Amino acid sequence: MKLGSLAGARAYYYDRNATSVGNTYEAIVTAHAETTRYTRTISSSGKKAIIECLQNYWDRRTAATTVGQLGAWVYVTSTSGTTMRVLSATNLVPDSAVGTFVYSQAPQPLTLYGGETIYGTTYHGEVGSTVYFQLALKGTEYDA
């Protein structure tokens, strides 16, 4: 980078009071309604965050007597209150086979602004099965 004056240079985001942030959830569970498993809110209007790794995974550990939808989702709620689904790991063709799994990972980093919230949820709509869920995120929060 060529600078006309060092007085105008701005440090890279990772050199602006950066801290590593993360959330994880993992458990083997039975049927449940959509449930929030982790939440992270960017602390203030003077902060931003880059979510560098975001992934959801689930696999069926015991067979279902009645198949249904399984899912793990990640949402972002903006400061205006708009909520967007940004990552999904949902079964498209329900079956009852043990070992059926879905993995999804965000294809690029997400930028979150002060006051925005990111949260992960799971849903298990089957009867008789147990499912292992794993949700994870890793990011860097820094001065805006």
* Residue-range definition of the domain harbouring residue 123: 14-143
In a domain, 2, yes or no: no
In a domain, 4, yes or no: no
pLDDT score recorded for residue 100: 85
pLDDT score recorded for residue 85: 92
What CATH number is given to the structural domain containing 131?
Answer: 2.60.120
- Give the total number of structural domains in the chain: 1
In a domain, 9, yes or no: no
* CA–CA gap between residue 71 and residue 89 (Å, rounded): 5
Residue with tokens 């940004």: 86
Collect the ranges in the chain with pLDDT lower than 70.
Answer: 1-8, 92-94
In a domain, 104, yes or no: yes
pLDDT score recorded for residue 93: 59
Q: Give the 3-state secondary structure of 8-40.
A: HCCCCHHHCCCEEEEEEEEEEECCEEEEEEEEE
pLDDT score recorded for residue 4: 57
Closest CA to 132 of 97, 93, 101: 101
